[in-house]
Structure 1
Amino acid sequence: MSQPATATSTDVGPDLDVLVIGAGISGIDAAYHLTTTMPKQRFAILDSKRDIGGTWRTHKFPGIRSDSDLFTFGFKWKPWTGIPIATAKEILAYLDEAIEENDLRRHIRFGRTVERAEWDSDDSIWQVAVRHSQGTETIRCRFLWMCSGYYRHSEGYQPEWPGMADFEGQIVHPQTWPEDLDHTGKRVVVIGSGATAATLVPALSKTAKHVTMLQRSPTYYYPRPATDDFIETLRALDLPAAWEHEILRRRFLHEQQIITRRSFEEPDALAADLIAATQAYLGPDYDVATHFTPSYRPWRQRLAIVPEGDLFVAIRSGKASVVTDTIARFTAHGLELDSGEELDADIVVTATGLVLNALGDIEFSVDGKAVDISQSWTHRGVMLTGLPNLAMVFGYLRTSWTMRADMVSTYVCRLIAHMQERQAASVVPALRPEDADMPARPWVDPENFNAGYILRGLDIMPKQGDRQPWLMTQDYFSDRETLPVADLEDGTLRYSPG
């Protein structure tokens, strides 16, 4: 079981070799790789929360579950033994087991919020300003490993509509869900149609009077069974857990690869298949053309998995419904739409998305000069120009986050070992002369992926180029070939002696 923050025993003192920021799935994976491949490295993990889990600790809304299968979202080094789509409670239990089995908890310091990180070139040291309940402290480390995720945990994206102050009911955002909120017998409107809304609507509809999903435009959904014959047959063979996990991981990766390929090569056919699956659940008379036929190519926004078609089951039962329209204003008793329709509501849930952030909203400086991360170039999606001895984890948008986090962990440990071999105190990416005229491209190409939270935050994210190693590919099948063998002496990494 998880221990409270006060029960951790590590005394985070000065001059750590590595400081990991974040005790979510990326930070835990980083800790595992450090302990197993670099046991002499002195490291610690800081997290602002009071326990592990990251996003699974932040979000507490009803029905919260993964929208990726756990065979790819889980760790390569710890087999997942449950069904593919898991609840937050199951995921947290899995993460707890992972850190207990590998004695990682002793490295974690909870309730620590990093405010600033200042690099001192003379000493080749990061000085990290940390706030906690007793005050502040400065931690000195040689290498900073950012595993803080990609969005602001303290607040979600909350649009403002006219009349919100007039609404006599309750407005809540899924990211800050009140633990005492009782929706039993209430009329609930969920604004949004992404993975969060698709999770909330069937969960709320079990006890609410009625749930309406209000969407500005339709989303693609991928209904699939909680388990299937292949999984059940494989488990009947009683294989070692590690074998079963790897086989199922490869199976799900293969499926993802096929769907992604089809989204580029035959988007109309893929769209037709997804819409047909929705129609099959909702029945031949349901207006799928209006409510479940998106205007964009499949996978330009996240493809939300709907286990057992539960969203559609709730709609077909009459416990939930979908309205496709835009909001004119809030009223005292609900919402007035631009079409003139009015929706009565006791509770309005704004499932309107995340606020993207860059490296945990931390203030970075190098030798007293502030660093504007948006002006940095990414190096293989792991390091940034202008920031020495720093690595970051930003996972995949189409494949499970962990697939990239694990490769980054291997790469960073290999880089640190290489620095030790050549007796380098620091390393920083820098453009070569042949890269000087490289066009600057956004962190994520909007033509490739155009989810709202990505587009809203692109201006704060680093740049990428048009060639390696200055790419953030968002392509697992490419990265798994190139990142493990990336040349650490190709002239793009500048090493300095101690």
Structure 2
Amino acid sequence: MGSINYDDSDVLDVLIIGAGISGINAAYRLHDELPDKKYLILENREQLGGTWDLFKYPGIRSDSDLHTFGYAFKEWTGADIAEGKEILTYLKKVAADNGIEERIRYKTRVNSADWSTEERCWFVSTEQDGQQKQYRSRFLYTCTGYYDYDAALKADIPGIQNFKGKVVHPQFWDLKEDDYRGKRVAVIGSGATAITLIPSMAEVTKDITLVQRSPTYILSLEKYDPIAKVLRAVLPQKMAAFVIRQKNIARIYASYHIFRTFPGVAKKILGRLTSMQLPKDIPLDPHFKPNYNPWDQRLCICPDGDFYKTLREGKAHIATGHIDQVTNNEIILKNGERIPCDIIVTATGLKLHVGGKIATSVDKKLIKASERFVWKGCMIEGLPNYALSIGYTNASWTLGSDCTAQYVVRMIKHMDKYHKSMVVPEPSNRDQLEEGPLLDLTSTYVKKAEKDLPKAATTGPWRMRTNYWYDLVQAKYGGYDELVFQ
């Protein structure tokens, strides 16, 4: 399709905030299904890619398989678990091939957005290259991810200020390989980032130790899916991509529901799989025996068992217990164990934030998203012509963000057909809604952020989204219950 040229001062049909994986997804759906609509993407950073451009730590990769983390409209042909640079290359190609790159305005920080009911328009104030600039748009679509780009989650580590070596958080990685070559490194944390860092850094460090307060479930997956190889060999490319994607979605949900329904069985299976990969000198308990059920927190994935391989080769070690004190050159646990180190990596989680720190108001009245319910996982109660891109906690993020994109496109078509200029979610029985979490995980970083996130209910269109297939049908064919069109 050819590109549409227009001045930035025009009133836009859709203004997308964020040029990460969700923003590019949203732009593609608009470009493909509503080619006559005028849209722009505002991106605070100097490049597209979001997470995959921001994070620079060793081994950065997706913890979801790329056949589901990638786009439905652009098949993924690489490894199931891919590195960040490969994902970034993929995103850039999608943007270039579909004319999306020319619609992005980089180095543009969005400070505020005010909806005018009288003018049926969003007035969005930004700072662009140090200059103030305002955009006007009929629809505002935030694709800013789920965490704070400017600040990491602060972890309470006793005595960390006493440490004389380097302390670095993965979100703000500033080390080169030579900076940790031959050094003793301690990685504090037990999530996906820590499990990724250990095998990547262990190749050059003198010693590297995972220091965890409590363990997590770590599941090995083959980097290259053998079934996917067979399907590509016998099916046409697009059909193979579709079948592989659906197979992987089915695998995700089968394991999720079986593990949640039979947690005792799940623990035994995961424990057995882990024991088979551990060296004899590292026991399952306490290092790999979590005190929570599988899927209360996300399972960590390690491709081809690289994390366990590093332990078996003696290149890495593990220490489990609460930190008593950090001295000038070591970490001391409350059980008396000491971990000498020259560098400490605080892989303790992200600071969650939804909506991109944009002061959002309706007719000059400030709206606090944390006091509002989310409609079908994609719109916020009381905010007109506004969409929010949120993914899944029990599956790939992109699956959820694409459901939102398809809902937005269909909603705009519906409004055009019936000559409506405003749509706003309004619960008919708000006082009867039972509040629930927006993200169904017990991880520390999620629990710390719950009070600041929008709310989900337990029933109706306000409940948390959990199933891609159901949500996709809703996005394509579902009703508009509890939406008010004007």
1:444 aligned onto 2:436: no
Deviation at 1:440, TM superposition (A): 2.3
Matching residue's letter, 1:307: P
Listed as ranges, the matches of 1:75-114 within 5 Å are 75-114=71-110
The residue number in structure 2 matching 1:333 is: 329
Cα 1:391–1:187 change in 2 (3 A) is: same
The residue number in structure 2 matching 1:231 is: 228
Cα 1:411–1:174 change in 2 (3 A) is: same
Matching residue's letter, 1:184: R
Deviation at 1:11, TM superposition (A): 4.7
Listed as ranges, the matches of 1:462-473 within 5 Å are 462-473=454-465
Work out the CA distance in 1 between the residues paired with 2:19 and 2:379: 20
Counterpart selection for 1:351 from 347, 350, 358: 347
Deviation at 1:283, TM superposition (A): 3.8
Matching residue's letter, 2:72: K
- Secondary structure of the 1:336 match is strand
The residue number in structure 2 matching 1:195 is: 192
Q: Count residues in correspondence.
A: 481
Matching residue's letter, 1:93: T
Deviation at 1:343, TM superposition (A): 1.2
Matching residue's letter, 1:494: V
Cα 1:134–1:300 change in 2 (3 A) is: same
Work out the CA distance in 2 between the residues paired with 1:101 and 1:221: 37
Deviations 1:353-393 (A, max 9, x none): 01111211111111111111111111101111121110001
1:456 aligned onto 2:448: yes
- Secondary structure of the 1:97 match is helix
Task: Give the aligned CA root-mean-square deviation in angstroms.
Answer: 1.5
Matching residue's letter, 1:298: P
Listed as ranges, the matches of 1:375-454 within 5 Å are 375-432=371-428, 434-445=429-440, 449-454=441-446
Deviation at 1:484, TM superposition (A): 2.5
Deviations 1:458-494 (A, max 9, x none): 1111222232211122222432343322212x3x111
The residue number in structure 2 matching 1:6 is: none
Listed as ranges, the matches of 1:112-127 within 5 Å are 112-127=108-123
The residue number in structure 1 matching 2:183 is: 186
**TM-score w.r.t. length of structure 2:** 0.96
Deviation at 1:168, TM superposition (A): 0.8
Work out the CA distance in 2 between the residues paired with 1:438 and 1:159: 34
Work out the CA distance in 1 between the residues paired with 2:372 and 2:30: 27
Listed as ranges, the matches of 1:138-287 within 5 Å are 138-180=134-176, 182-237=179-234, 239-284=235-280, 286-287=282-283
Deviations 1:406-463 (A, max 9, x none): 111111011011111121111101111x443222223234xxx212221111111122
Listed as ranges, the matches of 1:365-380 within 5 Å are 365-380=361-376
Structure 2 runs not aligned, ≥5 long? none
C-alpha contact 1:383 1:390 (8 A) present in aligned 2: yes
C-alpha contact 1:31 1:104 (8 A) present in aligned 2: yes
Deviation at 1:284, TM superposition (A): 4.8
Matching residue's letter, 1:353: G
Deviation at 1:139, TM superposition (A): 0.7
Work out the CA distance in 2 between the residues paired with 1:472 and 1:308: 33
Matching residue's letter, 1:196: T
C-alpha contact 2:393 2:439 (8 A) present in aligned 1: no
Work out the CA distance in 1 between the residues paired with 2:13 and 2:448: 35
Deviation at 1:348, TM superposition (A): 0.2
C-alpha contact 1:81 1:241 (8 A) present in aligned 2: no
**TM-score w.r.t. length of structure 1:** 0.94
Work out the CA distance in 1 between the residues paired with 2:80 and 2:444: 27
Cα 1:89–1:422 change in 2 (3 A) is: same
Deviation at 1:165, TM superposition (A): 2.2
Deviations 1:145-178 (A, max 9, x none): 0101010112221213332222110000000000
Deviation at 1:234, TM superposition (A): 2.3
Work out the CA distance in 1 between the residues paired with 2:426 and 2:263: 38
Cα 1:462–1:175 change in 2 (3 A) is: same
Counterpart selection for 1:41 from 37, 42, 45: 37
Cα 1:216–1:11 change in 2 (3 A) is: farther
Matching residue's letter, 1:444: L
Structure 1 runs not aligned, ≥5 long? 1-8
More divergent stretch after superposition (197-206 vs 246-255)? 246-255
Counterpart selection for 2:64 from 61, 68, 87: 68
- Secondary structure of the 1:436 match is helix
C-alpha contact 2:410 2:476 (8 A) present in aligned 1: no
Work out the CA distance in 2 between the residues paired with 1:286 and 1:477: 41
Matching residue's letter, 1:226: K
C-alpha contact 1:329 1:337 (8 A) present in aligned 2: yes
Work out the CA distance in 1 between the residues paired with 2:284 and 2:435: 40
Work out the CA distance in 2 between the residues paired with 1:322 and 1:460: 34
Deviation at 1:404, TM superposition (A): 1.1
The residue number in structure 1 matching 2:485 is: 495
C-alpha contact 2:152 2:169 (8 A) present in aligned 1: yes
Counterpart selection for 1:324 from 304, 307, 320: 320
> How high is the sequence identity, in percent, across the aligned residues?
38
- Secondary structure of the 2:352 match is coil
More divergent stretch after superposition (386-395 vs 257-266)? 257-266
C-alpha contact 1:20 1:146 (8 A) present in aligned 2: yes
Work out the CA distance in 2 between the residues paired with 1:286 and 1:330: 24
Deviation at 1:233, TM superposition (A): 2.0
Work out the CA distance in 2 between the residues paired with 1:376 and 1:175: 29
Matching residue's letter, 1:117: A
C-alpha contact 2:406 2:475 (8 A) present in aligned 1: no
- Secondary structure of the 1:424 match is coil
- Secondary structure of the 1:27 match is helix
Cα 1:99–1:37 change in 2 (3 A) is: same
Work out the CA distance in 2 between the residues paired with 1:267 and 1:481: 29
Listed as ranges, the matches of 1:305-316 within 5 Å are 305-316=301-312
C-alpha contact 1:326 1:338 (8 A) present in aligned 2: yes
Work out the CA distance in 2 between the residues paired with 1:179 and 1:35: 39
C-alpha contact 2:144 2:354 (8 A) present in aligned 1: no
